[in-house]
Every structure is written in structure tokens, then in C-alpha cells.
């Protein structure tokens, strides 16, 4: 079973991976089409700030039984 902190960390690690795909120094010889797709995916991907705001909102809700994200900062 995945706990909220693990889900948060997975989202953060995925963002880091996508960022690496957009950097030609970190991923040389990667096709331009893949770089562009990674950039496209990152356009609306949640930032660390977004994830923190979601976690804080979930923590402040009294009856939040189904917590999705947790503080992993």
C-alpha cells in the first residue's frame, strides 16, 4: 500500500526525471522529439510549491480520510 509521503516523493522524482530529459548536458544524444515531449509534460506538472500546498490543505481538512499526498519536504 502506498502512503501519502511515498506518492509525494514519486511525483517529485518524476518531475526531476523529466527535467533531466530536457537538459542536453544530463542526457546527451537524446532525440529532440523526446526532449520536446518531456517539456510538454512539464508545462502543467505540479511544482514542489504545488505539492506542498496540496499536502498542507489535506492536513488542515478535518474529515480527510482519503489523504492523497503528504509532506515530503
Write down the domain spans for the chain.
Answer: 4-60
Three-state secondary-structure class, residue 34: helix
Cell numbers representing residue 39 in the block: 517539456
Give tens-digit pLDDT for 23-63: 999 999 999 999 999 999 999 999 999 988 888 888 787 66
Residue from 20, 12, 72, 73 nearest 45 by CA: 12
Residues in the chain: 73
Handedness of CA 30, 36, 41, 45 (dihedral sign): positive
Global pTM? 0.81
Handedness of CA 58, 8, 25, 41 (dihedral sign): negative
State residue 65's pLDDT score.
Answer: 64
What is the distance of C-alpha 18 from the center of its chain? 9
Whether the predicted pLDDT of 73 surpasses 60: no
Amino acid at each position: 500500500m502506498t502512503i501519502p509521503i511515498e506518492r509525494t516523493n514519486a511525483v517529485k522524482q518524476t518531475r526531476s526525471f523529466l527535467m533531466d530529459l530536457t537538459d542536453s548536458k544530463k542526457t546527451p544524444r537524446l532525440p529532440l522529439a523526446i526532449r520536446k515531449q518531456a517539456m510538454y509534460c512539464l508545462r502543467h506538472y505540479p511544482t514542489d510549491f504545488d505539492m506542498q500546498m496540496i499536502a498542507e490543505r489535506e492536513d488542515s481538512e478535518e474529515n480527510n480520510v482519503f489523504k492523497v499526498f503528504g509532506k515530503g519536504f
